Amino acid sequence: MKIAIIDYGAGNVKSIEFALQRLGFESELTSDANTIKAADRVIFPGVGEASSAMHMLQSTGLDRLIPSLKQPVLGICLGMQLMCNHCEEGDTKGLGIFDVNVVKFNTDLKVPQVGWNTIFNLKSDLFKTVEENSYMYLVHSYYVPIHKNSIATSDYGLDYSVALHKDNFYGVQFHPEKSGKIGEQVLENFIVNSNK
């Protein structure tokens, strides 16, 4: 099993590598197109600001590579947001994998949302053995509205998509690598079940 973690200068990606190690999987941090294409699973992380992250993807051609991948791909946090059509943050055109726009929380609650929130309406094998209303760790100011590709919901002033799935592409807004044992279960499910 070859797992590639796309490295395009986006913040703390070591934690994903370490989480996979704890699960017994080796992975490779890489920006090399051939290595990514040859991997059995691809993880597309992302923290930081949308438009600068998109610029980094464009400067290396990863913006064209990612939508063309055929193996299971998991976008995490900003990675998932960049897989959508458009991000309000920095008025950023996304990769267009999920046909939905990412918008800013418009709420009296604190923004960014920082901390542990519940996820529910769980669909797909990504959440196999994960119980409804499990807690996941989130940090974000922008969200994906409920959409036909939603496979999990959370609420922060309103219900929104906290995970997406379409064909071989998966996205999670929460950080599975930072969400305790349940988060690790989601990562393991992606590695083990996503090709079924």
For the annotated catalytic residues, the residue numbers are 77, 175, 177
Task: Indicate which single residue of 75, 79, 94, 183 sits in contact with other proteins (rule: CB under 8 A).
Answer: 183
> By CB under 8 A, is residue 190 in contact with other proteins?
no
CB nearer other proteins, residue 149 or residue 176 = 176
> By CB under 8 A, is residue 48 in contact with other proteins?
yes
> By CB under 8 A, is residue 111 in contact with other proteins?
yes
Q: Pattern 58-77, binding to other proteins, x per CB under 8 A?
A: --------------------
- 87-92 long-range Cβ contacts below 8 angstroms, 24+ apart: 87/50, 87/51, 87/54, 87/142, 88/142, 89/49, 89/50, 89/51, 89/141, 89/142, 90/49, 90/50, 90/51, 90/52, 90/54, 91/51, 92/50, 92/51, 92/54
According to DSSP, the β-strands at 84-87 and 98-104 are: parallel
Contacts with other proteins, residue ranges (CB under 8 A): 11-12, 14-15, 18-19, 21-22, 47-49, 109-118, 135, 137, 139-140, 155-156, 175, 177-181, 183-184
